[in-house]
Amino acid sequence: MGIFELRESFKAHLEMLGQETGYYGYLRTFCEFVVEKKIDFISLSYDDYCSFIITLKKKYENNTSVNNYIFSIRSFYYYLENRDIVTEEILERTIKKIPVLKVEQKIKDSLSRDELEKLLSKALSYITRIEPLKVKAVIYFMFYTGLRKGELLRIKRADIDLELCEAIVRIPNKSKCERKVFFPKFISELLGHYFHFEVEKNNAFNISISMLAQLFVALQDFCPKKNISPHTMRRSFAMMLARQGIDIRIAQKLLGHKDIQTTLIYYDPDVEIIRNIYNEKIK
């Protein structure tokens, strides 16, 4: 089986696990490189892998983009190793030898609660392809729970307790732990209206990955000064926890971070936090 056929098999594997297929997209460039250079990907050499990474570094200005390819290739080769297509030796000798490149940790765009309200008040009158009640239910739920895109697409209504205002985030990968997230009472009331309005089909919000992408493209038009994406909602939730002084260990649990260093990024005081504390303490 050729590398492009295995790439398609890898995509089906990710879909079966309920995981996002972003790695599948990044693999195309690697597959084209392998075919063009006539490289035997099953016994990929360290030098060939280095050559590919060097071409990426020449193409992209930031290491974050290159790291996305490194992560996708690692995931792909772990899949190949599990299927006994490549040996563990290839992973140890080649794939694991290329480290993730260092990137400067920066907090990207996020929204405050006021900014979210203003955004929705502008956008809801113009978004016609998706029912306004669904838009509000999806966006508010993401903003106040910090769910990842994949987690939102997997969650079922049976996982959401409207009385206790909490939800269970179930993970298809057994090596990870499920977690609970919580939301305010007004979100529970909003979800109650939406769930009564539309019967559940594929997931709690009856939303597909393409529909979610269309929604955020539409929202972007009403917030040109900031990048608006599903992950913006997650970052906004994390920033809200930090600004409210929520203990970092609690925030780590709510966000589902394995490494507290990831959570710590959001707890580096920004200008707004510093200003508020200064105005409160210095009279």
pLDDT digits (tens, 9 = 90+) for 206-240: 999 899 999 999 999 999 889 999 999 999 999 99
Here the tokens at position 179 are: 């977690």
Q: What is the pLDDT of residue 174?
A: 41
- Stretch 76-94: mean pLDDT, rounded? 93
Q: What domains are there in the chain, each with its CATH number?
A: 3-97 (1.10.150), 113-281 (1.10.443.10)
Q: What is the pLDDT of residue 273?
A: 65
Whether 175 has a pLDDT exceeding 90, the answer reads no
Q: What is the pLDDT of residue 9?
A: 94
Confidence at 23, pLDDT banded by 50, 70, 90: confident
Here the tokens at position 53 are: 């990474």
Task: State the residue for tokens 């930090």.
Answer: 242
Specify the higher pLDDT residue, 8 or 128: 8
Q: What is the pLDDT of residue 271?
A: 64
pLDDT digits (tens, 9 = 90+) for 43-57: 999 999 999 999 999
Whether 172 has a pLDDT exceeding 80, the answer reads no
CA atoms of 99 and 79, how far apart (whole Å) = 19
Q: What is the pLDDT of residue 270?
A: 64
Confidence at 173, pLDDT banded by 50, 70, 90: very low
- Stretch 1-29: mean pLDDT, rounded? 87
How high is the mean pLDDT of the chain?
A: 89
Q: What is the pLDDT of residue 18?
A: 67
3-state secondary structure of 47: helix
Q: What is the pLDDT of residue 153?
A: 93
The order of strands in the sheet holding 179-182 is 160-161, 166-169, 179-182
CB atoms within 10 A of CB 178: 10
Specify the higher pLDDT residue, 269 or 9: 9
User: How many helices and strands (H and E) does the chain possess?
Assistant: 14, 3
Helix (H) or strand (E) holding 11: helix 3-16
CA atoms of 267 and 274, how far apart (whole Å) = 12
Q: What is the pLDDT of residue 262?
A: 84
Whether 247 has a pLDDT exceeding 70, the answer reads yes
Whether 125 has a pLDDT exceeding 60, the answer reads yes
Whether 8 has a pLDDT exceeding 50, the answer reads yes
